[in-house]
Amino acid sequence: MGSDGPLVEFQQVEFVVGGRSLLADLNFTIQAGEFLVLLGRSGSGKTTTMKLINRLITPTAGVVRVQGKATTDWEPIQLRRQIGYVIQETGLFPHFTIERNVGLVPTLQGEKPLQIKSRVHELLHLVGLDPAQFATRYPHQLSGGQRQRVGVARALAADPPILLMDEPFGALDPITRMELQQEFQRLQQELGKTVVFVTHDMQEAFVLASRIGLMQDGRLVELDTPQEFARSSHPEAQTFLRTLGVRGQGSEIRDRELGIGD
C-alpha cells in the first residue's frame, strides 16, 4: 500500500445476523493519524462497525481493508497485533500486577524481560502513572480513572498503528472523564496514532475528533469535521447538537461554545 493510501477502508460493507441487517452500505476511509469518532445512539451500529476493523466479526458482504489488505486475508492474530483495543471495563487481569498487565502482549511476543520492564515503565509515565507508585499494585487498588489509564498503556504496549476505543471513559465521573479526554487527546497527537473511538456523547466527540461519523440504524449518515458537523442539517445530527443546548439549522453556532476552536 502506498503511504498516501487509507489505513482503513470500508467498501460496500454489510453485516446481517439472523436475517436482520445491523450494518448496510458502509463506504468510508480512515487516514493515518486521524481521530475518527463514531457517534450514535445505542444500537446504531457503532461498536459493530469497530469490531469489523480487528476482525472480531467479518462482513456479510463487502470488504474491510486494513493497511490495504482485506481483514479476511489477514491472519487474525497478526491483524490484532496492529491494533490496540480499549473498552469501558478495561479487562485487566485482577491477579496480575499493573506491570504484568501492561507487559502482557510484549511478553507473549517473546520480548526480553528487561526490555519489557523498560517499555512498561515508559508507558506508565506516558499515561500519567508513576511506575514507582503503580507498577507493583493490582487493579483493585486503583481508581476507575487510573485503571482506564492502565488500559490505554496496555493497548499501546506493542506500539500498534491503530487504536480502537469503545466508550472507554463512559463509566467515569464527569471530572475524571474530562481530564482523561484532554490527556488522551494530547497523547494521540504526540504519538500520531490512528484512533477509532466509539461514543454516544456529543461533547466528547467535539473534544476529541478530527472527524465525526454519525451512525443511525446501521448506516453512516454523516461524516464531517467537527466544524462541518456543527452546521449539519441532518435531523439526527440536529438531535445530537441539541444535547449541547445548540439550536437547529439556521442558528448561529459559536465554535467556542462547542469546544472545537477555530
For residue 253, what pLDDT is reported?
42
Instruction: Give 256 or 118, the one with higher predicted confidence.
Output: 118
Q: What is the mean pLDDT of residues 124-137?
A: 92
Kindly tell me if the per-residue pLDDT of 250 is higher than 90: no
Does residue 214 fall inside a structural domain?
Answer: yes
**Residue 252, pLDDT score:** 42
Residue 71 inside a domain? The answer is yes
**Is residue 130 assigned to a domain?**
no
150-198 residue pLDDT tens: 988 998 888 899 999 998 888 788 888 888 888 888 888 888 999 999 9
Residue 239: which CATH number? 3.40.50.300
Spacing of C-alpha 250 from chain mean position: 32
Q: Specify if 127 maps to a domain.
A: no
Q: Band of the pLDDT at 4, cuts 50, 70, 90?
A: low
Q: pTM of the predicted model, to two decimals?
A: 0.86
pLDDT in tens, 78-101: 898 889 998 876 688 999 999 999
Per-residue model confidence as pLDDT tens digits over 206-235: 999 999 999 999 999 999 999 999 999 999
Q: Which pLDDT score is estimated for 262?
A: 39
Collect all residues with Cβ–Cβ distance below 8 Å to 190 and sequence separation of at least 6: none
The β-bridge relationship of strands 162-166 and 83-87 is parallel
Is 47 within the bounds of a domain?
yes
- The burial of 197, by beta-carbon neighbours within 10 Å (0-12 exposed, 13-18 middle, 19 or more buried), is given as buried
Does 114 map to a domain? no
Residue with the larger pLDDT of the pair 45 and 262: 45
Q: How far, rounded to the nearest angstrom, does the alpha carbon of residue 190 sit from its chain's CA centroid?
A: 16
For residue 109, give the DSSP letter. T
Indicate whether 228 belongs to any domain.
Answer: yes
Angstrom distance (rounded) from CA 260 to CA 227 = 7
Number of domains into which the chain is organized: 1
Q: What is the average pLDDT across 116-127?
A: 91
Q: Which of 26-30, 59-63, 64-68, 258-262 has the lowest mean pLDDT?
A: 258-262
Distances in Å between the alpha carbon of 149 and those of 16, 28, 56, 134, 172? 35, 30, 23, 11, 12
Q: Is 130 exposed, middle or buried (0-12, 13-18, 19+ CB in 10 A)?
A: exposed
The parent domain of residue 43 ranges over 1-80+181-186+200-245
Q: Domain for residue 26, yes or no? A: yes
Based on DSSP, count helices (H) and strands (E) in the chain, helices before strands.
12, 10
